[in-house]
Structures are given as C-alpha cells and as structure tokens.
Structure 1
Amino acid sequence: MKQVLALLLILSGFSASSQVLRKRTVKLMGSRFDITIVANDSLSAEQNIDTVIAEVTRIENLISDWKADSQISQVNKNAGVAPVRVEPEVFALTERAIHFSRLTNGAFDISFAAMDRIWKFDGSMTAMPSPQAIKKSVEKVGYQNIVLDRKQSTIFLKKKGMKIGFGALGEGYATDRCRDMMLARGIKAGIVNGSGDMSTWGKQPDGSDWAIGITNPLHKDTVFAVVPLRQSAVVTSGSYEKFVVFNGKRYAHIINPSTGYPATGVSSVTVFGPSAETANGFSTSLMVLGKEAGLKLIKQHPAYSYIMITDDGQIFSSPDLGIKKHSL
C-alpha cells in the first residue's frame, strides 16, 4: 500500500571523532534495508549491524504473510475455519493495527492483503475496472471480521479467503524494535531505514543532527525541505511514480481498502514522530483520506508532524517544522 519517496539522508563532513560510522544495505522483508550504526570502533559497528539484521529476520519469520510457515500465514490458512494461537508479540502488533483501522475508519486495514489486484499501474490499463469488479475486489476485506482473544492469544478471521498482512507497517515495527534494541545495548546513534520507514537516534559522529531532505514529487531531483532528526522516525508515502489517469482524473496506486478505489488528490505525505510503525500508519491513511480528512486526523495527534503535498502542488505542514505554505 505504500510507495517510498526519495528521502535523502544528509551526512555532514565528519570532524575528528573517536566514533566511527558504518553502513550496510541488505534485502530484508522483501525490501531494501539501509542500516547505519555509529560506534566506538568498526568491529563493534559491524557486529551491531549483524544484530539488527538478525532481529529484522526474526520479526519477518513471525509476521510475513508470504512465508508459508509464519504465524500470520497460519492465521490466513485457517480463515473461516479456526482461531490460531500466536506469540504475544504478533498478537500485540495485530491489536495495534486494528486500533489504527478503527482510528482511521478503515482507511488503514491490515486485511487489505485479501484485496483483488484489479488496478494495474504498469501502463497496461486502458480503462477503469467496472464498479461491480471494484466492489467485488474488497469483499473479503474488513478489519471488523478479525476476532482477537487476548486471553488465548488467538487470531481468527471470520470469512474464508480473508487474509491479513502487515506490509510496510511491519517494516516500521522492525525499525522501531531495532532502534530500541541498539539503545539498550549502549549504541548511542544510528539509523535503521526499512524501505523508507526510518527510525533514527542520537547524532552523527561530529555531533550534528541527522538530517533528511524531502524531495519535490513534481521535480524528483530537487530537495525542497531539509528536516533535522533527533530521536525520531520518519515515513513517506507517495504516488507520483505509480498512478493512472482516466477522464482527466489522477488515481494513485494506494487503494482505499474500504471502497476498492484508488486514492486521489494527494501526491505525497511525510510523517515524523516517535514511532515508525505509527508514522507509517498515518502516512498511508492520509493518502487514502485526502487533504481535508487527513489533516483533521493528524492534527489530533500532536506527537506527529507532517508534510502533505497535493496533486496540484500545494504544501501543508506542521507549524513546528518551519516549512512555509506555498505551491511547488
């Protein structure tokens, strides 16, 4: 449900420092992960990168809906049949996802995994799907049909053919977990970036803040805002690369799970806050909800800041980010 916009990590020129920075790029959870660790020496930095990779792999094996032996795959296989007992960690993540589904009135829904992929954004679509096909595509989607039993730690999907999947929300959860793990191990600075779901902590070796450049979705080689990051997370969702146009209207690749229709009106949303998991839920939901409802929702959660860019190039952002309201 999420396409990553370019978030440019801006590194300063390092001054003399006793600390070293090491970075590694790997494929985890089916996506690109960029792991940056600042430590006292290269060996320690590399060993902690290994620890991050092991933790993300552990989480992937628990929650992946494309690994046949994962707990979530077992939940999906037993849809309409029987509840499945899962680890407390998996249960808690599912519980939080359902809370977010309620909060956004279904603009976010982990049962979107059962949606029929009738919209094509690879240039092959020549006409919109019929209203009947669109309605049918989401008939097995609906967080209201997920039954949780906290006492038994079970998940039950009421309808046969239902599926749940965490997608990018799982990546956000993994980056948050790794940040907390590194802090507990005494690693005072780093970034775990899971395909654009980015958890950061501490500072660069020269003492400066990490900084993120937000690219202009209308001119992808241009940065229009630079935002410093401290102990924070940042997530961007966008549709400027994958979309279709019918009758002069632009339809994004991010689908509203409650209606089956693509999101319209917003090109990108960047959300900053303490948790990448929550920021991911907000960024996707704001794309689906659109400008008016999306801004109303995010303004109710002051721990999270936002930059929203509409299809016509208007910029809306939290006052604390200091970005002027103007058009691109």
Structure 2
Amino acid sequence: MKLRRIIGVLLCLALCLGMLSGCGGEKRYSGEFYGAFDTVVIVTAYCASQEEFDGLFSQTEEELLRLSRLYDIYVPYEGVTGLYQLNQKAGQGPVEVEPEVMELLLFARECYDRTGGVVNVAMGSVLSIWHEAREQAAEEPEKAQLPSQEALSQAAEHCRIEDLVLDEEAGTAELRDSQMSLDVGAVAKGFAVQRVTESLMESGYENFVISAGGNVQAQGAPPEKEGWSVGIEDPQQAGELIDTVTITSQAVVTSGGYERFYTVDGERYHHIIDPETLYPAQRMLSATVICDDGALADCLSTALFLMEPEEALEFARSQGALAILVTLDGQVLDTQEK
C-alpha cells in the first residue's frame, strides 16, 4: 500500500499537557496500533470515560484490520476472500467478492473516470515489477537495478480498466485479462478510513481523529476548539512543516515519494508510477488534499502528484478540494492563492 506521512496531527496544547478536561467532563484519550495497511494508526478522541474510548478504539482497530486484509494484494489470509484471491483468479471468470471489496472497486472505477485515467487500479502488472525491484534492493542494495523498459511496456498492455468487470447484483468481480492484476494502493487506505469514520459516527462517537500514515480523518472538534490541527511535513526536511491546517469533519491526505523509494546509481526511484512513462513521476515532491471525504482525498492526492503543478491546482479546484503542493524546486503552491 502507498505510504505517505503527515505529522502534527494532535493539537500542540494537547501534546504538551496530555489528557485535558473539556466541556461536559470529556477528556482526551489516545492509543495506537500497527498492522492495518502496513502503518501505525493513531486514534485520538475526546470521550466521557476510558471505557467509552476503549470502545471507540477497539472498533477502529477491528474494522481497519479487517478491511486491510480484504484489500491486501500481497498476502492471503485464512478465511478472507479479498483482492489477493481476485488477482490470483485473473482470466478464470467471475469471482464472488465481499461487499466491501465491491464497494472499493466501484469507487476505484469512479476515480479512473474522475481523473481521466490518471488513477488506475488496473496497473497492478506494472506496479508489481517496481515493487519487486524495491524489495530486491532492500534485501541486496548492491544489486539494486531498474526494471527493463521492455518488461514495463509488456506489462502495460494488461492495464485496461475495461477488463475489470463488476456485477453488483451477483456480487462478483472478474479480471478478463489473465495477465492483469489490481493494485489499490492509491485509494484503499483512504476508502477504509472513511468507512471506519462513518461507522464510528453511526455508533455515536462525535469527536475523534484517525491518523493512518499519510491519511488523517477527523470528525467533530476538540472541546472549545475550532478543529483539529494537522501539520503537513516538508518533503525535503524530515520533521519540518510547510504548513498547518485546522480541519473539522474533514480529511487530509498527502502523496509523496520521499519515504518509499530505492536507490540505483545514486538516483532515487519512488513508488508512485506515472501511467504515461511507466516510471516514477517527476512533477512534484508532494501533493496534499483537504476535503470532506477521505476516500476522495486519497484518490485526488495521487492524481495531483502525477500532474503538472498548475494543472493539479486547477483540477483540485474543479473537484471542490483544497490542495497544497510542493514542486520539484521546493516551491509551495496553494489552491487558495490567486
């Protein structure tokens, strides 16, 4: 899955003072777990009691882990029929999938249409080649090498979104090309965090924030505050911020190539692949999106990263989203600037 980072999720005052009392006796609680989407998930909430927070935290952990297993394309899990199994049965006819898998794939197809094909979950055959190259480099850095253009070009012939056939009534998905595979790294985490947020709201929880790698989803606001303060990291200087935004019932998602990469002959090659060149995109350092829906924010952040800066700003505006971009030369651009 795509790994992106936003720091400074918690209010500075809360970080300094720890558990604070709020209106109505609510206090700040926080906890974290690892395993969902291969990242550390931090859950922070204002609750009336530890028991109430424990319920919120357990629900978040359970549901995110379940969705992570359904959407994992690398590891099979016992008793789980998810994307791994769908990829394994490419070219073998329709496969019955879980409702959450169907929902994700329908959204992924919508993302393809919305972005004009820039975000394409059917690019798994190409992305898997780069994934294997990064894995090999991690094990034997001295043998790190780039994929061959021939292998990438051949794989690109099996990335047609039209070959992903969904039958909602039957609850089946089919990959008609036996050599195609899905990679949902551009959309899955945001989609999952959005769904968990909605589930928590249905359970009656009102003021909380979930930080899952580079995906931050907030609901409500801390007592007597305008919203949750989220720091956006400088992709060129770890630990430094380029901006801080305050959100209420919104999501903030950042895409960038500064964490997941490998090096060949002194050059870095990150994990966000341009569908036109089949190589890591070289248009900007990071793209951050702020909007009401975490799934859409995830999709848009990847799309913007793959566009030229001015094109990305215009596209973000057309989608009703705020965006903060860092160009290759370190310039910070904002959709709110004229």
Distance 1:252 1:266, change over 3 A: farther
Tell whether the 8 Å contact from 1:35 to 1:191 is kept in structure 2 after alignment: yes
Match of 1:72 in 2: 83
| Contact 1:37 1:189 survives alignment (8 Å) | yes
Length-normalised TM-score, structure 2: 0.84
Query: In the alignment, which residue of structure 2 is the partner of 1:162?
Result: 180
The 1:23–1:113 alpha-carbon spacing in structure 2 relative to 1, beyond 3 Å, is farther
Give % identity: 25
Q: Which residue of structure 2 aligns with residue 147 of structure 1? A: 165
Please list the CA deviations of residues 35-63 of structure 1 after superposition, one character each: whole Å capped at 9, or x if unmatched.
11221111111121011111112323433
In 2: Cα distance, 1:127 partner to 1:84 partner:
36
Q: TM-score, normalised by structure 1?
A: 0.87
Give secondary structure in 1 for the equivalent of 2:238: strand
Hey, what does 1:9 align to over in structure 2?
A: 9
Equivalence for 1:300: 318
Task: State the shift of 1:267 in Å.
Answer: 0.1
> How far apart, CA to CA, are the structure 1 residues paired with 2:96 and 2:142?
42
Aligned to 1:111: 122
The farther-off stretch of 206-215 and 276-285 is 206-215
Between stretches 181-190 and 293-302, larger displacement belongs to: 293-302
Instruction: Tell whether the 8 Å contact from 1:83 to 1:154 is kept in structure 2 after alignment.
Output: yes
Task: Tell me the CA shift for residue 247 of structure 1.
Answer: 10
Aligned positions of 1:306-317 closer than 5 A: 306-317=323-334
- Structure 1 residues 129 and 177: CA distance shift in structure 2, 3 A: closer
Q: Which residue of 1 aligns with 2:17?
A: none
1:249, CA displacement in angstroms?
Answer: 8.5
Counterpart CA distance in 1 for 2:322 and 2:143 is 36
Counterpart of 1:234 in structure 2 is: 252
2:193/2:210 contact within 8 Å kept? yes
Residues 101 and 108 of structure 1 are in contact (CA less than 8 Å); yes or no, is this contact kept in structure 2? yes
Quickly say closer, same or farther: Cα 1:57–1:240, change in 2 above 3 A. Answer: closer
Please report how far the alpha carbon of residue 84 of structure 1 lies from its aligned counterpart in structure 2 after TM superposition. Answer: 1.1
TM-superposed CA distance for 1:145, in Å, is 1.4
Change in CA separation of 1:110 and 1:232 when aligned onto 2, cut-off 3 Å: same
Residues 75-114 of structure 1 aligned to structure 2 (within 5 Å): 75-114=86-125
Tell me the CA shift for residue 135 of structure 1.
1.1
Q: Deviations over 1:234-285 (max 9, x none)?
A: 1011113455789998754311245422100200001001111111111111
- Per-residue displacement from partner, 1:206-253 (whole Å, max 9, x unpaired)? 534210111222222322211101110010111134557899987543
Q: Distance in 2 between matches of 1:185 and 1:192?
A: 16
The one of 43, 49, 57 equivalent to 2:65 is 57
* Pairing 1:318–2:335 present: yes
2:27 alignment partner, one of 20, 28, 39 = 20
Distance in 1 (CA, whole Å) between partners of 2:58 and 2:260 is 34
| Alignment match, 1:39 | 47
Q: Give 3-state SS (helix, strand or coil) of 2:246's partner.
A: strand
| Secondary structure of 2:279 counterpart | coil
Residues in 2 aligned to 1:147 and 1:286: alpha-carbon distance in whole angstroms:
27
Contact (CA 8 Å) 1:264, 1:290: kept in 2 or not?
no
More strand by share: 1
1:91-120 Cα shifts (integer Å, max 9, x gaps): 122111011112223321112333242454
The CA RMSD over aligned residues, in Å, is: 2.7
Whether the 8 Å CA contact 1:2–1:284 is kept in 2: the answer is no
Q: Distance in 1 between matches of 2:300 and 2:142?
A: 30
Query: Contact between 2:46 and 2:208, CA under 8 Å: does it hold in 1?
Result: yes
- Asked whether the 8 Å contact 2:191–2:298 carries over to 1, the reply is no
Unmatched 5+ stretches in structure 2: 15-19
- Quote how far apart the aligned CAs of 1:125 are: 7.1
